[in-house]
Amino acid sequence: MTRNTRTRTRRTVITATGIIGGAVLALAFPSMAGAHVGVSPDELVAGDHGVLTFSFSHGCENSPTTALRITMPDGLASVAPTMDGDWNIEVERGDDGLVSAVTYTALTPVPTDLRGAVSMSVGLDESTPESLAFPVVQQCVEGATEWTQLAEKGEDPHDLDAPAPVVSVTETAAGDHGEHGAAAAADETPATSPATDPVGIVLGTGGLIAGLAALVVAVLAYRRRA
């Protein structure tokens, strides 16, 4: 093998490594950033009703999801889980008779590469606090993940490893019509829209661009020496 041939071979290996690395970043970073339990909508009006959808797109370390246990925060006037043929539903109540937790158990474990979602109707009153956190325990075939972390004042929730889903509560705006306004907002929010993270998308795109750049440089170098 001549020296020029060995040089071209090394360039080919480097180029392939760059492309593979870029592809891995493009695929892995959005997936890692989106690996959490989210809630939609993330804002409700005080004294109103709304339907909350809790969704996830990953299991525990790639193990299929078997159940979600969602703990109810103080300040809810009512909770009504949505019937769903894909999940068994167990409701826990406190001494006051109000729903304290809801466990959704999948009839068939949800594969790690598929999106799963459960929902419930909640009622708020005028004394509901400005923020409602819903700690979630995600049970999997192997292991579990507790999405229970809350951001401190001034802390970015995106910096947390396992943030709890949080819903903000706003005051009733002039011209709103109570439940009708909340229902309209819920209708405008696609329940099947997967959660995305702009940081993950940017990083993934950057990795892909880096891989393509390596390919272009290698091709130009080869043509100059051909």
List Cβ neighbours of 128 (8 Å cut-off, separation of 6 or more): 46, 47, 75, 76, 77, 169
- Helix, strand or coil for residue 7? helix
Residues 152 and 185 in one domain: yes
Residues 144 and 186 in one domain: yes
- Residue 201 in domain: no
What's the number of domains the chain is made of? 2
Give me the tens of pLDDT residue by residue for the chain, a chain 226 residues long. Answer: 555 555 555 554 444 444 444 443 333 333 334 468 999 999 999 999 999 999 998 889 889 999 999 999 999 999 999 999 999 999 999 999 999 999 999 999 999 989 999 999 999 988 899 999 999 999 999 999 999 999 887 777 778 889 999 999 998 654 454 444 444 444 444 444 444 454 455 445 555 555 555 554 454 555 555 5
pTM greater than 0.75: no
Residues 173 and 78 in one domain: yes
Q: In terms of residue numbers, what domain contains 149?
A: 36-195
- Residue 200 in domain: no
Residues 10 and 69 in one domain: no
Whether 91 contacts 102, CB under 8 Å = yes
Residues 15 and 118 in one domain: no
List Cβ neighbours of 150 (8 Å cut-off, separation of 6 or more): 133, 160, 163, 164, 166
- Residue 42 in domain: yes
